[in-house]
Amino acid sequence: MAEHSLVVILDFGAQYSMLIARRVREANVYCEILPYNTTAKELKRRNVKGIILSGGPNSVYDKNAPHPDPQLWNLNVPILGICYGMQLIAEALKGKVKKGKKREYGKAEIRIDPSNALFSGLPQSISCWMSHGDSVSKLPPGFIAIGHTKNTPNAAIGSSKKNIFGVQFHPEVVHTPLGSEIIVNFLYKICAIKPTWTTEHYIETACRSLKETLGKQKILCALSGGVDSTTVAALVHKAVGKQLTCMFIDQGFMRKNEAKKIKELISKNFRIKVFYIDASQRFYEKLNGVIDPEQKRKLIGTEFIRVFEEEAKKLGKIPFLAQGTLYPDVIESAVPSKVTTAHTIKTHHNVGGLPEKMGFKLVEPLRLLFKDEVRLLGKDLGIAEEIITRQPFPGPGLAIRIIGEVTPERVKILQEVDDIIVTEIKNAGYYKKLWQSFGVLLPIRTVGVMGDQRTYLNTVAVRAVTSVDAMTADWARLPYELLEKISNRIVNECPLVNRVVYDISSKPPSTIEWE
Ligand code: XMP
């Protein structure tokens, strides 16, 4: 994306690097998150117009504390340090950082200097979110304090001459309500970047690059009905039209009527030819008697690849495969020097293994985008609102929401339950406010009473969460009346269910899906 000014966020192991990147993108500026030790030479080669140093869990004096390339300070590119990033500035430019005895954590009022470009247009006092132990005790030569709180005299510092600024608080989080403005000031006023990163521009550049890569060759896309794969298909179709072939594999674990709906929506919307493959029988056979969640995921993943391979062969030689990989996935897997390490909590099912095994060349036209950017892009490409606003749905589908054995009968129960939950949540106006809302079928039966009859039937859990990126999530405080309606409808309309419970656990320590 050479035509857009590039801002780089150097990641020092912050929880919030991704949030910083989102704020920058929301300001219509293109940015990438790179490892903290990216060399100054590389940043220069990429013609970086602004650098943001993220926060991080360390103290600058820790033995293994991550430090940037010392040449960074001589690049003559505007720098904004956030929290740990600001302490790095102080330390590197001959100020002092004091080890804190106590962590300052939570909301604080900061008095700022609105005559400074970084705070231009803001009131003299704003709310901000603090989370630090250390603080800057002596300013580096040439720097002034441009903000202070009750506990932190140097809560924001800057040198307009050097174009280097630091804030002790986190402007990227929602608890700093005017934080976005601070980031915007840094980008527009200090880095002098123009907001050119728009979906219109993106479509143009992506189509050009797809045409160049593909020439006259064919490309295959596996659709799932979600916003990512549909947007990929629409984008590729816009770029190369009939060279695109789409495939939709129904493994039998979709929601009620979903496979049919997706088929209709896509062919109507784009007149793209979609090969629909009903492979449910095969998947059910594979899962026969399997109750271990990881085994389920692996079996489904492998079978998916098998079906895909067989079907793709029937279509003749197609050299390229389009995939809906998003920027968060790219960062997760591609920042080798990331200071924090992530464990595999669950094996995620996607078509990642396909290109290598089958000799496909991979095309990932969304790999620079966040989910909200994909939604905007999809909208601009004319994708139906119903798909754009669809909540994420896991690759293995309802199979990982049926605890215990997956049988067609149990899938049918959950489909009905899920349909009621989604319908009621939509009717109450909550669907778009939630990251996900769904039902889980538990492997237990409990005693109930209906009319004068004793019942001994299934229990289902309702799961509804809010989240920005699925890395963390909170259970949704849905109104009791809505929960009551959902519960009443389920026990009245699903003859095999007599109990409904509401999941009130957050992630972490729980996960969003139950398996
Ligand atoms: P967890 O359960 O790990 O889920 O908190 C985080 C998010 O990822 C989705 N998810 C998946 N998505 N294939 C997918 O494409 C999968 O195998 C898969 N497993 C979980 C989940 O729905 C949530 O949004």
Question: Of 388, 413, 439, which residue constitutes the final position of a domain?
Answer: 388
Nearest to 100 by CA among 87, 81, 112, 85: 87
What's the pLDDT score for residue 335?
47
Give how far the C-alpha of residue 346 lies from the chain's centroid of Cα atoms, to the nearest Å. 16
pLDDT at residue 332 is higher than 90: no
Considering the domain architecture, whether residues 113 and 44 belong to the same structural domain is answered as yes
Q: CB-hemisphere CA count at 13 Å for 466?
A: 6
Sign of CA dihedral 319, 322, 327, 332: negative
pLDDT average, residue stretch 371-378 = 92
Q: Which of 11-20, 387-396, 458-467 has the lowest mean pLDDT?
A: 11-20
Q: Taking the CB of residue 237, how many other CB atoms lie within 10 A of it? A: 21
**φ, ψ of residue 492 in degrees (nearest 5):** -80, -35
- Tell whether 78 and 142 lie within a shared domain: yes
261 and 322 together in one domain = yes
Same domain, 170 and 223: no
Please tell me if the CB atom of residue 470 comes closer than 6 angstroms to any atom of ligand 1. yes
Give the C-alpha distances (Å, rounded to integers) separating 157 from 131, 143, 163. Answer: 17, 6, 11
Residue 438: name the closest of 457, 459, 456, 414 by CA. 414
Residue 122 C-alpha from the chain's centroid: 30
In a domain, 479, yes or no: yes
What pLDDT score does 319 carry? Answer: 93
- Note whether residue 396 is domain-resident: no
User: Same structural domain for residues 161 and 310?
Assistant: no
Q: Which atom of ligand 1 is nearest to the CA of 301?
A: 17
Rounded to whole angstroms, what are the CA distances from 199 to 155, 205, 342? 36, 10, 31
Give the pLDDT of residue 84: 95
**172 in the same domain as 223:** no
Q: Are residues 126 and 178 in the same domain?
A: yes
Tens digit of each residue's pLDDT (9 = 90 or more) over 466-513: 998 788 899 999 999 999 999 999 999 999 999 999 999 999 899 999
Average pLDDT, the chain: 91
Give 259's pLDDT tier (boundaries 50, 70, 90).
Answer: confident
With a cut of 90, say whether residue 330 has pLDDT above it. Answer: no
- With a CB cutoff of 8 Å and minimum separation 6, the contacts of 105 are 130, 131, 132
pLDDT band with cut points at 50, 70 and 90 for residue 201: confident
Strands 135-138 and 96-98: antiparallel
510 part of a folded domain: no
pLDDT tens digits for 22-50?
999 999 999 999 999 999 999 999 999 99
**Average pLDDT of span 88-97:** 97
Alpha-carbon distance of 215 to 437, in angstroms, equals 42
Residues 318 and 359 in one domain: yes
174 and 28, same domain (yes or no): yes
Closest CA to 325 of 346, 280, 355: 355
**Residue 342's pLDDT band (cuts 50, 70, 90):** very low
Q: Is the pLDDT of residue 264 over 70?
A: yes
What is 144-187 written as a DSSP string?
Answer: EEEEE-SS-S-SEEEETTTTEEEESS-TTSTTSTTHHHHHHIII
CA gap 414, 258 in Å, rounded: 13
The predicted structure's pLDDT at residue 120 = 97
Residues annotated in a binding site for ATP:
224-230
pLDDT at position 339, please? 46
Question: Which residue of 345, 348, 374, 398 sits with most ligand 1 atoms within 8 Å of its CB, as the best mutation to test the pocket?
Answer: 348
What is the distance in A from the centroid of ligand 1 to the CA of 347?
9
CATH number for position 306? 3.40.50.620
Reported as a pLDDT band with limits 50, 70 and 90, residue 355 is low
Residues 255 and 145 in one domain: no
Instruction: Please tell me the distance between residue 349's alpha carbon and the centre of ligand 1 in angstroms.
Output: 9
For the record, the structure tokens of 216 come out as: 């006259």
How many angstroms separate the CA atoms of 415 and 201, rounded? Answer: 40
pLDDT at 3: 67
Same domain, yes or no: 362 and 496 = no
User: What's the whole-number mean pLDDT along residues 286-295?
Assistant: 96
Averaged pLDDT for residues 362-368:
92
pLDDT of residue 336: 44
Q: Is the pLDDT of residue 333 over 70?
A: no
Q: Give the residue numbers spanning the domain of 427.
A: 401-502
Percent of all residues in the chain with a pLDDT value above 90, rounded to a whole number: 76
Alpha helices in 6-109 (DSSP H): 17-26, 40-45, 84-92
Do 129 and 260 lie in one domain? The reply is: no
pLDDT band at 348 (very low <50, low <70, confident <90, very high): low
Look up the pTM and report it.
Answer: 0.79
Q: List, for residues 128-183, the tens digit of each pLDDT value.
A: 999 888 999 999 999 999 999 988 999 999 999 999 999 999 999 988 999 999 99
Q: Does the C-beta of 301 come closer than 6 Å to ligand 1?
A: no
Specify whether the CB–CB gap between 508 and 469 falls below 8 A. Answer: no
What is the dihedral sign for C-alpha 270, 271, 275, 280?
positive
**In which band, very low, low, confident or very high, does the pLDDT at 360 lie, cut at 50, 70 and 90?**
confident
The residues carrying an active-site annotation are 83, 170, 172
Q: What's the sign of the alpha-carbon dihedral 280, 285, 290, 296?
A: negative
Q: What is the pLDDT of residues 95-127, one digit of tens each?
A: 999 987 777 888 999 999 999 999 999 999 999
Asked whether the beta carbons of 289 and 405 are under 8 A apart, the reply is yes
**Sign of the dihedral defined by the CA atoms of residues 271, 277, 280, 283, in that order:** negative
Give a yes or no: residue 508 inside a domain: no
CATH of residue 467's domain is 3.30.300.10
| Of 16, 104, 13, residue with least CA distance to 67 | 13
